[in-house]
Structure 1
Amino acid sequence: MSTLKTKKTLSQCDQILQHLQSGKTINPRQAWNLFGCYRLGARIHDLRKQNFPIVTKIIYKNGGNFAEYSLRIG
């Protein structure tokens, strides 16, 4: 990835990867709020195809569930 890219010009995959590499987790609501990403699962799939070790945790809350993603360290 070029260091000349600003946050605005980074792809959604690049932005999500940077977020995960900073040690944070991400869920669909955060992806929408932070990056305008409506299809987080598809972007996670794209990153996994590039061999990034992304872990999925299912969160159960208020009678529903959603996926939360993190980068496996080590």
Structure 2
Amino acid sequence: MNNTQLEQILEHLKQGKSITPIEALEQYGCFRLSAVILKLRKQGCDIVTHHERNSSGIGTHARYELKQVAA
């Protein structure tokens, strides 16, 4: 992961959009969204995780949403 991906994903979340791992891969080339989310949380961002059922009906995936940005 590079800082550019982190910055792009943070900006995405700041716009009030949520993001899933597949969206992060398609839009920003980010293979490990959970690592980006962890870094943002450590920087003080309040990010919540919603677990959603996959479209196939088998398994779940995470959808992340920003509640509050670090001051």
TM-score by length of 2: 0.85
Consecutive unaligned residues of structure 2, counting only runs of 5 or more, are none
Q: Deviations over 1:10-47 (max 9, x none)?
A: 61110000000000000000000000000000000000
Q: May I ask how many residue pairs the two structures share in their alignment? A: 64
How high is the sequence identity, in percent, across the aligned residues?
A: 44
Q: CA RMSD in A?
A: 1.1
Match of 1:65 in 2: 60
Structure with max Cα Rg: 1
Under a length normalisation based on structure 1, what TM-score does the superposition of the two structures give?
A: 0.82
Q: Gaps (5+ residues) in structure 1?
A: 1-9
Moved over 6 A (4+): none
Residue matched to 2:29: 36
